Structure 1
Amino acid sequence: MATTRTSSMTSAPSQMLSLTAGMIAGAVEGAVTYPAEFVKTKAQFGGSKAEAPKLTSIITQTIRQKGIQGLYSGAGALIAGNALKAGVRFMTYDSIKALLVDERGKLSPVNGMLAGLGAGVCEAVIAVTPSETIKTKLIHDNASLNPKYSGMINGAVGIYKSEGVAGMYRGLVPTIMKQGANSMVRFSSFNALQDLALRFKSATTGGAKKLGSSETFTVGAGAGLITVYCTMPFDNIKTRMQALGAESRYSNSLDCFTKIIREEGTTRLWGGTTPRLARLMLSGGIIFTVYGKVVELAGSF
């Protein structure tokens, strides 16, 4: 997204508009897709591939023990963090993109990847790491027989009191790697797929200038699919590093990576792919579509 072709605007959105539109898109996307994130996170906790719980078992057991609301355990942290990170992501991407476009206003594939990488690193540091840490620990805690935390605020305060700032930012390195790779792949693949879709639409309809909402959703979903398979190992390492008790099991991200391969096999780096695939395809469709609509509506005033 974040290109003039998908909006009625004739210039790039302002930083405030990018931030606001991104936050709205992120909040909507987080609320809609959270159950898939919950299942993915539970599927990534330790254990060999043979010992890993089946996705259907996670869902049925959670509903049986906690009710439907159990699938939204830790949702507040992710929705709030998702809104902030999407706002930061789009604002940073649009700002870097404005610096890297050529004299014709075009962004090369390499510069597009650089803009996406920069956006991902910024969102990882500002929003993603603390919100993901809280979400992961709350999901892990909720699965125990005697949960310590009753909700997002209680959990955030408790985690901060017991582990400090370092605890809130545990897993920062793999999160930066994951979010940097996520945004780099997502934006560049979205732009490439969007170009293909626009060329196809133009050839079949005689000069289309932009994609409709359903077409943008489809392109965003395709970008989400590509992103999942390219970045899944980073996501698994991040989840392990942020789980309860991780500080006593892993000394750093590299140690976590080697232990997963040695003890559980390389394929476990792609553990939880199915629910993340469902979430990021839906996420990609929602977030690019909502962002584009908000920018377009703002441009009509």
Structure 2
Amino acid sequence: LIMSDRGLVFSAGRPNQRVSAAAAAASGSSNKSLKGIIAGGITGGMEICITFPTEYVKTQLQLDEKVGAQKRYKGPIDCVKVTVRERGFFGLYRGLSVLLYGSIPKSAVRFGAFEEFKKRNSDAQGNLSTGRKFLCGLGAGICEAIFAVTPMETVKVKFINDQNSANPKFRGFFHGVREIVREQGLRGCYQGLTATMMKQGSNQAIRFLVVESLKDWYRGYRGDTDNTRPIPKLLTGMFGAVAGAASVFGNTPIDVVKTRMQGLEAHKYRSTAHCFVKIWREEGLKAFYKGTVPRLSRVCLDVGITFMIYDSFMELFNKIWK
């Protein structure tokens, strides 16, 4: 008789065999979460170097609050042209270090948390129900929002905004962090926490639900009962792109509010709700979908690449790390 997370289980065999099997299972489960953290961190660093220019354009468009002819950019293509003309090609990479420092822990927390939640909520065969896929993704998104995304995104948006001001005051990432903490306290790095939790939670809930569901569908179509068998990486990337597109249309308004709450003009808003109402009244519904085109292309590429890289490293770790 063995006590497990799912209750009492009757097991045949000699005591030493049962103890060894239980220890191996526990070790494997623990390792999977750790593998998820390491693979996630590597994935985050590689992915952001590829997709940063579209993130830069999206942020610039969302911070462009002027109306009509006063707007600095006519659209995403114009934003790219203006940036390259004024600052050169590498102007599209201004603020990369800030996002790179944030992307690695963000991805590590997200995938590590998901693997942990998945381990605790899957059935005896390692399968998750549709509802539990959604909840595991939601939990992973909330964890990354609290422990990584909010402070790093706040610094990133302030840094990019500062670099485009007439007299930039941040000399670099760490200098920017010191200035923000000195002037606004630790709270200055946690502006827009509620909006970020909503954004990341809904993002990852949708993405993991879609990707895991598509993987299960493919295994069923293939007649494969082994859910640990690798899926072709190109197909995984396609599943990720579909998941990314689904998440964009679901939470772009939340992303706009989050960006405003974390910008240098955040003092204009008393709360996340006040920011939402103010944008609605002064700029209309269209303002909530600023940056949708560059965000859609970025997110589809981002999520597709992320799941391809992550699955590749997890497959490698499972071979060499027992």
1:93 aligns to 2:117 (yes or no): no
**SS state at 1:300 partner:** helix
Three-state SS of the structure 2 residue aligned to 1:89 is helix
Residue in 1 that maps onto 2:53: 35
Q: Which residue of 2 aligns with 1:5?
A: none
Q: Distance in 1 between matches of 2:217 and 2:123?
A: 21
Is structure 2 residue 200 aligned with structure 1 residue 217? no
Q: CA deviation at 1:49?
A: 7.2
Which of 1 and 2 has higher RCO (CA within 8 Å, sep 6+)? 1
How far apart are residue 97 of structure 1 and its match? 1.1
**Between 80-89 and 46-55, the greater mean CA deviation after superposition:** 46-55
Match runs of 1:29-108 below 5 Å = 29-45=47-63, 46-48=65-67, 51=71, 53=73, 54-108=75-129
Match of 2:250 in 1: 230
1:26 equivalent to 2:44? Answer yes
Q: How does 1:173-188 map to 2 (within 5 A)?
A: 173-188=194-209
TM-superposed CA distance for 1:113, in Å, is 0.8
Mapped to 1, the partners of 2:126 and 2:284 lie a distance apart of 46
Instruction: Output the TM-score relative to the length of structure 1.
Output: 0.90
- 1:87-166 to 2 correspondence within 5 Å? 87-166=108-187
Q: Which runs of 5+ in 1 are unaligned?
A: 1-10
- How far residue 101 of structure 1 moved from its aligned partner, in angstroms, is 1.0
CA drift of 1:186 comes to 0.7
CA distance in 2, matches of 1:258, 1:17: 43
1:78, 1:135 within 8 Å by CA — same for their partners in 2? yes
- Give the aligned residue type for 1:21: A
Greater C-alpha radius of gyration: 2
- One-letter amino acid of the structure 2 residue matched with residue 223 of structure 1: A
In structure 2, what is the equivalent of residue 252 of structure 1? Answer: 271
Cα deviation for residue 47 of structure 1 reads 3.4
Code of the residue aligned with 1:241 in structure 2: it is: M
Q: Identify which of 282, 295, 302 aligns with 1:263.
A: 282
Of 137-146 and 11-20, deviating more is 11-20
Distance 1:103 1:299, change over 3 A: closer
CA RMSD, 1 decimal? 2.0
Query: What secondary structure sits across from 2:167 in the alignment?
Result: coil
Give CA deviations for 1:142-190 in whole Å, capped at 9, x if unaligned: 1112111122122112212111111111111100110011111110011
Counterpart for residue 214 of structure 2 = 193
Contact 1:198-1:210 within 8 A present in 2 as well: no
Counterpart Cα distance in 2 of 1:131 and 1:120: 15
State how many pairs are aligned: 288
Match of 1:296 in 2: 315
Q: Do residues 273 (structure 1) and 277 (structure 2) align?
A: no
Q: Which runs of 5+ in 2 are unaligned?
A: 1-27
Cα distance change of structure 1 residues 52 and 107 upon mapping to structure 2, 3 Å threshold: farther
8 Å CA contact 1:228, 1:277 repeated in 2? yes
Is the 1:137–1:242 Cα contact (8 Å) retained in structure 2?
A: yes
Distance 1:52 1:66 in 2: 15
1:262 partner letter: R
2:61–2:290 Cα contact (<8 Å) kept: yes
Deviation string 1:195-219 (CA, Å, 9 cap, x unpaired) is 333344x17x9x9954211111111
Task: Output the amino acid matched with 1:125.
Answer: I
Q: Offset at 1:267?
A: 2.1
Query: Counterpart in 2 of 1:8?
Result: none
Change (3 A) 1:14 1:194: closer
How far is the alpha carbon of 1:52 from its aligned partner? Answer: 6.9
Instruction: Name the structure 2 match of 1:240.
Output: 260
Separation in 1, partners of 2:301, 2:84: 22
Cα distance in 2 for residues equivalent to 1:184 and 1:143? 34
Write the deviation string for residues 208-242 of structure 1: whole angstroms up to 9, x where unpaired: 95421111111111111111111111110000001
